[in-house]
C-alpha cells in the first residue's frame, strides 16, 4: 500500500488516517465542510469560517511541492529501515533532488518527535558522545567535537533523547526533570553528575561502571547501551556527517523506531503519519535562520 501509490491513493490514505470521521476544518475543527471538486483537487472549504484547506494544512506536508505519493513512500522508507536512510538514498529511490530529499527527511523526523508525557516506573538514564573522533566517555580527552546525547528509557516502555551542551549535573538533572516522573526509580551508572538524583526522584540506583560492574541484579543501563549502539551504527552507516544542530532530530528518529520496535513496518508508518499533524518545520528553521521548535526536546 505504501510503495508506488498513485497520488489519489496516497491522498485518500492520508485523509483517512487524519480524519477517520470525515474531513474537519483545521482552523475551527468543524466537521461541516464542503469538498471542492473540479480544479482544486483535494481541497475542502469550511462551512463556518469559509477557509479552504487540504489534508496537508497544518501538517509536515504543508507548503511542500512534493506529491503526497512521494511523501508516503519517504515516510515508509524511514520507518522500515532499521538504521535510518540517508537523504542521498531517499533522493535516488524517489527520484527527487538531494535538497528535496534532505528537507523531506528532516520534516519526517520532526513528525517522529515524541508527543511528550513523563516516563514512569523504572527509568534508565545514560549519556554518550556522538560524532568527532576519539572514544572516551564523559568529559575526558578525545571528546572534542563530540556531542553528548542523553537517553532516558522506561523499562518496558518508551524513551526520550536529549542533546545537551555538556554533561554537567545541571544539564542532566534538567533532562531528567523534563522527562521523568519524580515517583520513578532511576538507574544510571556512577558518573558524578548523577550523584544527587536521589534528592529528587523516588529512588536512584547506580551500577558502578568505574569498577567494571555492568549489572547488579536489575540495576543496569543495558537498554541505553543497546540504544546507543543502534544510534551510532546508524549514524556511521547512513549519515556521513551530522551536525550538533540536527543531531536532536536524528536521535528522535532512532527513539521513535525504538518506541515502535514491537510493531510492523506498516504499523510504524501509520503511526508516523498520524503524528504528522500539528508539526511544522520550515526550511528557514532547518538551515538556521529561525529558532527551532524541536530544539528544546
Ligand atoms: Zn473552519
- Residue 201 sits in a domain of what CATH number? 3.30.420
Q: How far is the CA of 53 from the centre of ligand 1 (A)?
A: 9
Q: How far is the CA of 11 from the centre of ligand 1 (A)?
A: 20
Output the pTM of the full model.
Answer: 0.86
| Assigned domain for 39 exists | no
Q: Which pLDDT value is given to residue 133?
A: 52
| Assigned domain for 238 exists | yes
Q: How far is the CA of 55 from the centre of ligand 1 (A)?
A: 14
| Assigned domain for 94 exists | no
Task: Identify the residue with better confidence: 40 or 71.
Answer: 71
**Distance between start and end Cα atoms, the chain:** 32
Q: Return residues with CB closer than 5 A to ligand 1 (ion).
A: 25, 27-28, 46, 48-49
| Assigned domain for 207 exists | yes
Copy the grid coordinates of residue 34: 464542503
Q: How far is the CA of 168 from the centre of ligand 1 (A)?
A: 48
Instruction: Determine how many CB atoms are found less than 10 A away from the CB of residue 133.
Output: 9
Range of the domain at 155: 122-242
Q: How far is the CA of 16 from the centre of ligand 1 (A)?
A: 19
Q: How far is the CA of 25 from the centre of ligand 1 (A)?
A: 5
Among 41-55, 167-181, 277-291, the minimum mean pLDDT is found in 277-291
226 Cβ contact partners less than 8 Å away, ≥ 6 residues apart? none
Instruction: Determine how many CB atoms are found less than 10 A away from the CB of residue 238.
Output: 17
Q: How far is the CA of 31 from the centre of ligand 1 (A)?
A: 8
Q: How far is the CA of 9 from the centre of ligand 1 (A)?
A: 25
| Assigned domain for 247 exists | no
Task: Identify the residue with better confidence: 142 or 120.
Answer: 120
| Assigned domain for 261 exists | no
Model confidence at 138: pLDDT above 70: no
Q: Which pLDDT value is given to residue 294?
A: 37
| Assigned domain for 113 exists | no
Q: How far is the CA of 20 from the centre of ligand 1 (A)?
A: 18
Q: How far is the CA of 104 from the centre of ligand 1 (A)?
A: 28
User: Is the distance from CB of 154 to CB of 120 less than 8 angstroms?
Assistant: yes
Q: How far is the CA of 51 from the centre of ligand 1 (A)?
A: 6
SS (H, E, C) the chain: CCCCCCHHHHHHHHHHHHCCCCCCCCCCCCCCEEEECCCCCCEEEECCCCCEECCCCCECCCCCCCCHHHHHHHHHHHHHCCCCCCHHHHHHHHCCCHHHHHHHHHHHHHHHCCCCCCECCEEEEEEEEECCCCCCCCCCCCCCCCEEEEEEEECCCCEEEEECCCCCHHHHHHHHHHHECCCCEEEEECCHHHCCHHHCCCEEEEECHHHCCCCECCECCHHHHHHHHHHHHHHHHHCCCCCHHHHHHHHHHHHHHHHCCCCCHHHHHHHHHHCCECCCCCHHHHCCCCCCHHHHC
Model confidence at 40: pLDDT above 70: yes
User: Is the distance from CB of 229 to CB of 236 less than 8 angstroms?
Assistant: no
| Assigned domain for 33 exists | no
- Give the integer Cα–Cα distance in Å for 140 and 254: 26
Model confidence at 139: pLDDT above 60: no
For 175-187, the pLDDT digits (tens) are 999 999 999 999 9
528537507: which residue's cell?
103
Average pLDDT of the chain to the nearest whole number: 87
Q: How far is the CA of 23 from the centre of ligand 1 (A)?
A: 11
Model confidence at 117: pLDDT above 50: yes
Q: How far is the CA of 24 from the centre of ligand 1 (A)?
A: 8
Q: What is the CA radius of gyration of the chain?
A: 21
Report how many domains make up the chain.
Answer: 1
Q: How far is the CA of 80 from the centre of ligand 1 (A)?
A: 36
Nearest to 59 by CA among 24, 26, 85: 26
Model confidence at 295: pLDDT above 50: no
- Give the integer Cα–Cα distance in Å for 110 and 251: 11
Q: How far is the CA of 43 from the centre of ligand 1 (A)?
A: 13
For 191-246, the pLDDT digits (tens) are 999 999 999 999 999 999 889 998 999 999 999 999 999 999 888 877 766 778 88
- Give the integer Cα–Cα distance in Å for 249 and 161: 10
Amino acid at each position: 500500500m505504501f510503495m508506488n501509490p498513485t497520488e489519489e491513493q496516497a491522498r485518500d490514505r492520508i485523509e483517512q488516517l487524519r480524519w477517520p470521521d470525515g474531513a474537519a476544518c483545521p482552523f475551527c475543527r468543524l466537521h461541516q465542510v464542503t469538498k471542492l471538486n473540479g480544479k482544486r483537487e483535494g481541497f475542502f472549504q469550511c462551512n463556518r469560517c469559509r477557509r479552504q484547506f487540504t489534508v496537508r494544512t497544518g501538517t509536515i506536508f504543508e507548503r511542500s511541492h512534493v506529491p503526497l505519493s512521494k511523501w508516503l513512500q519517504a515516510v515508509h522508507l524511514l520507518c522500515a529501515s532499521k538504521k535510518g536512510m540517508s537523504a542521498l538514498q531517499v533522493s535516488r529511490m524517489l527520484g527527487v533532488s538531494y535538497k528535496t530529499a534532505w528537507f523531506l527527511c528532516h520534516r519526517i523526523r520532526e513528525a517522529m518527535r515524541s508527543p511528550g508525557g513523563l516516563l514512569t516506573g523504572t527509568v534508565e538514564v545514560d549519556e554518550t558522545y556522538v560524532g568527532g573522533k576519539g572514544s572516551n566517555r564523559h568529559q575526558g580527552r578525545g571528546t572534542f567535537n563530540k556531542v553528548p546525547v542523553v537517553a532516558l528509557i522506561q523499562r518496558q516502555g518508551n524513551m526520550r533523547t536529549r542533546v545537551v551542551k555538556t554533561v554537567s549535573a545541571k544539564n542532566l538533572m534538567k533532562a531528567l526533570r523534563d522527562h521523568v516522573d519524580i515517583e520513578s526509580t532511576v538507574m544510571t551508572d556512577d558518573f558524578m553528575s548523577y550523584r544527587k538524583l536521589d534528592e529528587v526522584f523516588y529512588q536512584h540506583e547506580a551500577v558502578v561502571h568505574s569498577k567494571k560492574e555492568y549489572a547488579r541484579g536489575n540495576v543496569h543501563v543495558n537498554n541505553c547501551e543497546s540504544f546507543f549502539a543502534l544510534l551510532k551504527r546508524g549514524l556511521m552507516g547512513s549519515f556521513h556527517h551530522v551536525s550538533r544542530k540536527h543531531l536532536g532530530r536524528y536521535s528522535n528518529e532512532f527513539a521513535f523506531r525504538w518506541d515502535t520496535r514491537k510493531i510492523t513496518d506498516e504499523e510504524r508508518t501509520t503511526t508516523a503519519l498520524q503524528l504528522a499533524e500539528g508539526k511544522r518545520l520550515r526550511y528557514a528553521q532547518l538551515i538556521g535562520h529561525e529558532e527551532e521548535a524541536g530544539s528544546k526536546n
